Amino acid sequence: MNLALFDLDNTLLAGDSDFEWGQFLTRKGIVDKEVFEARNVAFYEQYKAGTLDIYEFLDFQLQPLARHTRAELDAWHAEFMESTVRPMMTPKAQALVNEHLAAGDIVAVVTATNSFVTGPIVRAFGIPHLIATIPAQENGAFTGKPRGTPSFQGGKIERVESWLESMALNWGSFGKSSFYSDSHNDLPLLCKVTNPVAVDPDATLQARAEAEGWPVISLRG
């Protein structure tokens, strides 16, 4: 039995669903364009630089979920999927996912982006498991705060291990464990698996992959 883990943004997707969700909200006029868009861009630059404070970002990113009903949010997300996400779902990415599924591997997406944004995307890929940052809810409404450990940097290891434990599994349960990612933010989990794969990597991850002899692939096109 093998384990196949995928980052989502800029890995399986040819773009960043977290960033694009914020841009979608500004285009719809759901959030203040001038204020929200500037902060959204600033946080995205911090993420790429490896300087993001995940809790500060989540305070910003989850607030719009708390201001609207679930029905409104679900309707907007359906529009977001068709207008923005599906064009970022490349045939190469889907083929790789299908290859792992056909092999009988346990397949999951492990992403820092919250589960409201990513759940429908992961289901569209046909992936059965999602490990994402969880937006807290009370009485069916989002609170604007995260619940538990965010699935970010070293937190991805904690969340994956808790998920494996819930199935009475651990790293040693697998003949091979793979993780596919584009980002140096994912180096902790990349170093944990037996088969780290850099996918259209940023410069820092590219250099590390070359130094370690990790495979480097592209899922674009």
Active site residues: 7, 9
Please name the residue ranges forming H helices in the chain: 17-27, 33-49, 54-61, 63-66, 70-80, 91-102, 115-125, 155-166, 187-192, 203-212
Nearest CA to 22 among 51, 53, 64? Answer: 64
**Cβ atoms of 114 and 61 closer than 8 Å:** yes
CB-based contact 76:29 (threshold 8 Å)? no
Length, in residues, of the chain: 221
Helix (H, G, I), strand (E, B) or coil at 215: coil
For residue 53, which phi and psi values (nearest 5 degrees)? -85, 105
Whole-angstrom Cα distance, residue 178 to residue 139? 37
**Rounded distance, CA 212 to CA 194, Å?**
12
Beta bridge partners of 147: 134
